[in-house]
Structure 1
């Protein structure tokens, strides 16, 4: 698949506020959907925005009439090429993006980079590489299910740590029983994620996006559903 097809597209609501990031194929699917009732019946549910053309908006049919500029990226279709785009707006959707990140297994996995936070090995859902959510201070000892007390761990480290803190797992008589690949020292201090970690990498922000994004949008710390232990 061409790299262009895997490029990301910024999605704005009808007030031109960023609400999502998607891929070229999914963006094109949105452009081909039309309202089937109401005042906007027959109109597309999404339009392309081109900052280089004074922020004009285009339906897919209109966009397809524009010839690609020499040297610019193109979307290769069957028998022809189309101009590349990386910003679309939804013509009816006007909800604002949520600034609250829900605590879940998926967000913990993403925060910890798919790596065991004790030994650094890669984990996945494949047999032999499974990972699980580990409570640093076990729940039996009063540990809470919070961003600060949970990390991604491989099955080996999780099993060896068992119902103990990392310090308890490798101290005294437990040290001789330890068979894990690490001394139970966390690779990083678990914290509440920031939007820069889970919603977008600044290195991958396309030039056209910067006119719709602010530093605050990308750096805002997201809230945690679980109460912090300090609360």
Structure 2
């Protein structure tokens, strides 16, 4: 078990999602009284004399304000939002480009709503046209991400996280 990997959901005192913490950090927060364990992962850390449950969700005891977090608009975050999947054909991979839905030459802006992940062949096929002109369709309309982007990179979201993430996943 990798104790430094971010695998524990962290909530503030009002049960708002703050982000992820490592197992090591979350266990230390719980043991020091800075947080309470809301949900156990079912795994345990073993010392010679103690068995410590590994948290899946912790809640900080002090209120930490969740700032208005705007995700920076850049290539990496567009790919993360789109789950490294071409938004035209559904091909997945690391050899993706970022395409302007409305081309820059036609006044298309550099906004979340106008940028999508695209494989090279779809980007070439679309060229300097809109998807409609190229006879292509987007798998989903591009939007600014509401949820923290760490969620986009997770293959599966643990069931015990869902009640806290529900508003973010809509």
* TM-score normalised according to structure 1 size: 0.53
Matched with 2:137 is 185
Matched with 1:74 is 43
Matched with 1:178 is none
User: For 2:76, which of 89, 106, 112 is the aligned residue?
Assistant: 106
Instruction: Give yes or no for contact 1:19–1:96 (8 Å, CA) kept in 2.
Output: yes
* Secondary structure, counterpart of 2:66 in structure 1: coil
* Structure 2 counterparts to residues 155-194 of structure 1, below 5 A: 155-169=120-134, 184-194=136-146
Matched with 2:67 is 97
* Secondary structure, counterpart of 1:108 in structure 2: helix
- Distance in 2, Cα, partners of 1:136 & 1:17: 34
* Secondary structure, counterpart of 2:80 in structure 1: helix
Q: CA RMSD in A?
A: 4.0
- Cα 1:193–1:12, aligned 2, differ >3 Å: closer, same or farther? closer
- Distance in 1, Cα, partners of 2:8 & 2:80: 21
Unaligned runs of 5+ in 1: 33-43, 53-71, 125-129, 170-182, 221-231
Matched with 2:168 is 218
Unaligned runs of 5+ in 2: none
* Secondary structure, counterpart of 1:83 in structure 2: strand
Instruction: Give yes or no for contact 1:19–1:97 (8 Å, CA) kept in 2.
Output: no
1:118 and 2:70 correspond: no
1:47 and 2:12 correspond: no
- Distance in 2, Cα, partners of 1:206 & 1:6: 18
- Distance in 1, Cα, partners of 2:35 & 2:75: 35
Q: Deviation digits for residues 31-75 of structure 1, max 9, x if unmatched?
A: 49xxxxxxxxxxx6x7340459xxxxxxxxxxxxxxxxxxx8232
* Structure 2 counterparts to residues 6-85 of structure 1, below 5 A: 8-13=7-12, 17-28=16-27, 31=29, 47-51=34-38, 73-77=42-46, 79=48, 81-85=51-55
- Distance in 2, Cα, partners of 1:166 & 1:18: 36
User: For 2:118, which of 138, 153, 161 is the aligned residue?
Assistant: 153
Instruction: Give yes or no for contact 2:23–2:54 (8 Å, CA) kept in 1.
Output: no
- Cα 1:214–1:115, aligned 2, differ >3 Å: closer, same or farther? closer
Higher strand share: 2
